[in-house]
Amino acid sequence: MKNSIGVVIPAYNPNLKKLERYVKELDELLCPDTILIEIDNPSQSELNQMKEIPARVGVSEVRRGKGAAITQGFNKLKSDILVFVDADGSAPAKSVKKVCDSVKQSHVDLAIGSRRHPNSNVKFHQSEVRKLLGDGFSFLSQIILEVKLYDYQCGVKAIDKKIWKEVQNDIEKEGFSWDIELISIVSMRGHNIEEVPIEWEDQPGSTVKIVPTILELFKALFTVRRKIKKMRRV
């Protein structure tokens, strides 16, 4: 049975008071071996304040991107189950536990939190434009990618450490397209993926630049599809 849990939180210019509360909630409910915050390009003031947060901190002096931060964080952990969550706490700790339990208590290798699943409970605070772009990306992903999901980009995912070790060297994306590459490669390798409906509340003050991110994601759909086809031929 897979028991131990390690949590990675990629962060860039986070709300530190909110992050501290979230870390404490995760620690209380998940009882993880480690909570590791991988923060990009922090100020000295941020680092000083983070000393109050009960978590390990990995620091990059440059902005690596979400995917690179998660990859480097996962590679530092020795836990049976590796999970990442967004730093803004959009997914409550009980939903993160639900995603982890999917891997812990079954034969699931990669569990994906889903905001778009019919059984999810989601509160959106997005603009209509941002919501439409998100809907459009999900629709196109279902057409282009082999894996058919409701939600590819949700910021809660858990993976069996053994499966991560198998696929980690194939993961090249460093930004937000990391998720679709991970999902596609895990699926191509024949491992079990489960989409888990969760609670989610979008948080204001996102540091994500929507237009460049959407362009990155749309481009990645095609590059990842080509990569998977090439890997199948090898």
Total number of domains constituting the chain: 1
* Count of Cβ atoms closer than 10 Å to residue 5 Cβ: 25
CA dist 129 and 78 (Å) reads 41
135-164 pLDDT, tens digit per residue, is: 888 899 999 999 999 999 999 999 999 999
CATH code, 19: 3.90.550.10
CA dist 113 and 25 (Å) reads 18
Q: Which position has the higher pLDDT, 104 or 134?
A: 104
Give yes or no for residue 38 having a pLDDT over 80.
yes
Residue 49 has a pLDDT of 95
Classify residue 3 by burial, with Cβ atoms within 10 Å: 0-12, 13-18, 19+. exposed
Q: Which position has the higher pLDDT, 161 or 132?
A: 161
Looking at the DSSP assignment, which residues form a beta bridge with residue 57? 37
Residue 46 has a pLDDT of 96
Tokens 């629709």 belong to 139
Query: What's the mean pLDDT when you consider all of the chain?
Result: 92
Q: What is the mean pLDDT of residues 94-105?
A: 96
CA dist 93 and 30 (Å) reads 8
DSSP at 88: T
Residue 34 has a pLDDT of 97
Residue 204 has a pLDDT of 66
pLDDT bin (cut points 50, 70, 90) of residue 124 is confident
DSSP letter string, 135-148: HHHHHHHHHHSSS-
Q: CA separation (Å) from 145 to 84, 111, 113, 149, 232?
A: 22, 17, 18, 9, 14
Residue 173 has a pLDDT of 94
155-200 pLDDT, tens digit per residue, is: 999 999 999 999 999 999 999 999 999 999 999 999 999 999 999 9
CA dist 106 and 234 (Å) reads 31
Q: Which position has the higher pLDDT, 64 or 205?
A: 64
Residue 108 has a pLDDT of 96
Give yes or no for residue 1 having a pLDDT over 70.
no
pLDDT bin (cut points 50, 70, 90) of residue 28 is very high
Which range marks the domain in which residue 176 is found? 5-233
